[in-house]
Amino acid sequence: MIPEKQSIRILLAKPRGFCAGVDRAIKIVEKALERFNPPVYVLKHIVHNAHVVQELREKGAVFVRAISEVPEGAHLLFSAHGVSPECWKEARERGLNIIDATCPLVDKVHQEICRFARQGYSIIYIGDAGHDETLGAIGWAPESIQLVRTEEDVKALKVEDPERVAYITQTTLSIADCALIVKALRDRFPKIVSPRKPDICYATSNRQMAIVALVPESDLELVVGDPESANSCRLRDIALKLGKPAHLIPDAGGIDPAWLEGAATLLLTSGASAPDHLVEGVIARLRTFRDCAVEERVLVEEDIHFTLPLE
């Protein structure tokens, strides 16, 4: 007699998956391949998801780590994370046809950095060292920017004029962590100037809000996303900080059945660069272990779309 499967309730968070900036960047690559024919070169990864990169590679996109790898006169696409002015300069000097897929919300951060730099502020950038978005942003005013990631970093800051300090943030940070760092900055520099509008993007905020709202109902959280995806890592970390076991998995193959032991309710979500078919694959694999009752929980409806660049 075949033993009866245990049941598990799956809370499927919405919003999840692609944000408008990621969706736009992928469409730009696809349109470029359609219009100009392969190869179209992409600097670094168009978005931080290995599955998306592989799918575009199979269509003819060529991903490079440096502009010097791109043949002169070819089409080069800058990723959603944005790049520094030095990258623009190098690409133009090589005679490349540039297609800019920088997320409009990241571009807003670049404009804020330039504005603060022109006004003579010491700029504090709250972000992850080495992240593509951070590297691109700091490049817009390297002589004026200092990077911080913790409250301890804030204590070590040295600025020319404590009364002319401004801060900027990476778009994919944890809202709660960022708030603590901003408080530390305000305590140290009472006259610090903030961005005109929050820099953490709507998609990051919405996905984090959904996790905070739904974690109390769950015993376990699974986040579908790439380990290089900052916003995906944040979703896992938020659940961990709220005291629930949580795991970041790239796809269905990342599931360890042992995680399900003792779990009656599982919260499932995905980062802003994870395609929804990966989430569907995770549910299908979970069904091989348990009888699953899937309940989609809609916290916010997203209807934001960004237009494609003219080129």
Task: Tell me whether residue 228 is one of the annotated catalytic residues.
Answer: no
Q: What is the mean pLDDT of the chain?
A: 95
Give the pLDDT mean for 221-232.
Answer: 95
Radius of gyration of the chain measured on its C-alpha atoms: 21
Q: Is the pLDDT of residue 68 over 90?
A: yes
Q: Is the pLDDT of residue 166 over 50?
A: yes
Structural domains of the chain sorted by starting position, each given as residue range(s) with its CATH number in brackets: 7-18+202-298 (3.40.1010.20), 20-102 (3.40.50.11270), 105-188 (3.40.1010.20)
Q: Is the pLDDT of residue 5 over 80?
A: no
CA distance 243 to 168: 30
CA distance 256 to 51: 20
Give the pLDDT mean for 15-37.
Answer: 95
Q: Write down the residue that tokens 């204590």 correspond to.
A: 155
Those residues whose C-beta lies under 8 Å from the C-beta of residue 83, and which sit 6 or more positions away, are 43, 102, 136, 139
Q: Which residues pair with 223 in a beta bridge?
A: 248, 269
What dihedral do alpha carbons 122, 123, 129, 130 form, nearest 10°?
Answer: -100
pLDDT at residue 305, as a whole number: 84
| Set 112, 133, 143, 301: catalytic member | 133
CA distance 153 to 146: 10
pLDDT band at 163 (very low <50, low <70, confident <90, very high): very high
Judge if the upstream peptide bond of residue 15 is cis by omega within 30 degrees of 0: yes
CA distance 20 to 18: 7
Those residues whose C-beta lies under 8 Å from the C-beta of residue 57, and which sit 6 or more positions away, are 63
Judge if the upstream peptide bond of residue 39 is cis by omega within 30 degrees of 0: yes
Tally of CB atoms within 10 A around 236: 22
Count the residues in the chain. 311
Q: Is the pLDDT of residue 1 over 60?
A: no
Give the pLDDT mean for 303-310.
Answer: 85
Nearest 5°: the CA angle 157, 163, 165 is 50
What single letter denotes the amino acid at residue 264? A
Give the pLDDT mean for 58-75.
Answer: 96
pLDDT at residue 4, as a whole number: 63
pLDDT at residue 304, as a whole number: 84
Q: What predicted TM-score, i.e. pTM, was given to this entire model? A: 0.90
* Tokens encoding 63: 């991903």
pLDDT at residue 170, as a whole number: 96
Q: For residue 137, which of 180, 173, 161 has the smallest C-alpha distance?
A: 173
Q: Is the pLDDT of residue 15 over 80?
A: yes
pLDDT band at 2 (very low <50, low <70, confident <90, very high): very low
CA-to-CA separations, 185 to 13, 114, 288, in angstroms, rounded: 33, 20, 50
List pLDDT tens digits, range 184-212. Answer: 999 999 999 999 888 899 999 999 999 99
Element (DSSP H or E) covering residue 78: strand 75-78
